[in-house]
Amino acid sequence: MIKRTLFFGTPAYLSTKNKQLVVSYPEESTPPKTVPIEDIGILVLEHQQITISNGLLAKLIQNKAAIISCDSYHLPISLLQPLVGHSEQTERIKHQLQASIPLQKNLWQQTISSKIENQASFMDKQGIPARKMYKWALEVKSGDTENHESRAAVYYWKHIFGIENFIRGQHGLAPNNLLNYGYAILRALTARALVSSGMLPSVGIFHHNKYNAFCLADDIMEPYRVFVDVLVYDIVKSNEPFEVLTTALKTSLLQLPVMDVLIDGNKSPLMVAMSRTTNSLYQCFSGISRKVLYPEFV
C-alpha cells in the first residue's frame, strides 16, 4: 500500500479520534479535516506553531509513520521513530551487530557500484557523456578502497545540472538547498524502512561517525539519491526561481516517496522499494542472501 506524505506549513492543532488524524486550525471558520492514520507514511511538521497530541504521536509511531520536525529555517532537524519496529527485532539486531568486516565491505561495494551506475544512467538519459561513470561502477572493489565514489561524484556534479562551477556542499549555493531538503526526506524514508525491518539505523556498514545516529540510513540511501537529483534537475530546468526553498518547491520534492522506481525487474513506489531494499539487507546480515536489492535508474 502506498502511504501518504502530509506536509504542515501553517499553524495547526493535530490530534486523533477514531483512528483518524484530526487537523484543527486557529481560524474558527476553517472546518477540521481528518485523515486515516493507517494511510500516513510521513508527517512533515514545518511551522513552529504546530501543536500535536501525545495520543496522535503514539498512534503514528505504532503505524510506523516517520515524523519529521523542522527548525525555524524550515529545514528538517529530527526524526521520531519507534523503539520497536519489528516482532523479531532482537534477533535481527543481533545478526546486524555480528556482521563480519568482509561482509560489510562487500555490501558497501554493492552499494557504491549501484550508486555510480544509477548516476551514470541519469547522465546518459540527459545526453551527458557517462562512459567513465559506467567504467567506474564496474571497477568498485570491496570496501571501495580506491574511493571510486568520490571520483564519480566530482565528475557527476560538474556536469549534471549544467551550472558552471557548481559544487555540491551542505552550505553551497542553490540548488544545494533543494538537494539538502530532498536528501533529508530520503534519509527519513530510509530510517523508517530500516526500523520496520528490525534493524538499527545508527549502526552502519561504512559510515561510523559516533555523532551520527543514522549511519546505516546514510549507507543504504546512497543508490536512491539519484531520484532526489531527478526532482531537483526538473526544477532547475523549468527555469523557475529556486534560490529560495518555497512551499511549492518543497511540495515538488515531497513527491519522492511515490516516485516509480525499478527494483528487481518490477516497478514500485520508492517507499515500497526502500522496504524491499532493507529486507534484503537483513537477509544478507542473516546469511540467507549475499545481494542487496537496489533500484535501477532507467
Do 182 and 103 fall within a single domain?
yes
Asked, for residue 76, whether it belongs to a domain, the answer is yes
- In percent, the amount of the chain with pLDDT more than 70 equals 100
Residue 85 scores a pLDDT above 90: no
Please state, in angstroms and rounded to a whole number, the distance separating the CA atoms of residues 272 and 129.
31
Q: Are 156 and 228 in contact (CB under 8 A)?
A: no
Do 127 and 35 fall within a single domain?
no
Do 72 and 146 fall within a single domain?
no
Asked which of 80, 106, 136 is the last residue of a domain, the reply is: 80
Strand 76-80: give its sheet, edge to edge: 4-8, 40-45, 66-70, 76-80
Higher pLDDT, 192 or 292: 292
Do 180 and 144 fall within a single domain?
yes
Q: What is the CATH number of the domain that holds 62?
A: 3.100.10.20
Do 147 and 281 fall within a single domain?
yes
Q: What is the CATH number of the domain that holds 200?
A: 1.20.120.920
Q: For 190-249, what is each residue's pLDDT tens digit?
A: 999 999 999 999 999 999 988 888 999 999 999 999 999 999 999 999 989 999 999 999
Asked, for residue 52, whether it belongs to a domain, the answer is yes
| Residue 296, annotated as binding a ligand | no
Do 24 and 125 fall within a single domain?
no
Do 189 and 244 fall within a single domain?
yes
Asked, for residue 136, whether it belongs to a domain, the answer is yes
Count of residues making up the chain: 298
Give the pLDDT confidence score for residue 134 in this predicted structure.
98
Do 154 and 231 fall within a single domain?
yes
Residue 1 scores a pLDDT above 70: no
Q: For 236-252, what is each residue's pLDDT tens digit?
A: 999 899 999 999 999 99
| Residue 207, annotated as binding a ligand | yes
Do 71 and 106 fall within a single domain?
no
Asked, for residue 130, whether it belongs to a domain, the answer is yes
Taken in order 193, 195, 198, 204, is the CA torsion positive or negative? positive
Please state, in angstroms and rounded to a whole number, the distance separating the CA atoms of residues 292 and 294.
6
Give the pLDDT confidence score for residue 79 in this predicted structure.
87
Asked which of 27, 62, 80 is the last residue of a domain, the reply is: 80
| Residue 28, annotated as binding a ligand | no
Do 103 and 247 fall within a single domain?
yes
Domain of residue 27: give its range: 4-80
- In percent, the amount of the chain with pLDDT more than 90 equals 87
Do 19 and 61 fall within a single domain?
yes
Asked, for residue 192, whether it belongs to a domain, the answer is yes
- The single-letter DSSP state of residue 38 is G
* pLDDT level of residue 161 (50, 70, 90 thresholds): very high
The number of domains in the chain is 2
What pTM was estimated for this model as a whole? Answer: 0.92
Asked which of 41, 61, 80 is the last residue of a domain, the reply is: 80
Give the pLDDT confidence score for residue 210 in this predicted structure.
84
Asked, for residue 39, whether it belongs to a domain, the answer is yes
Provide the grid cell at 45: 511538521
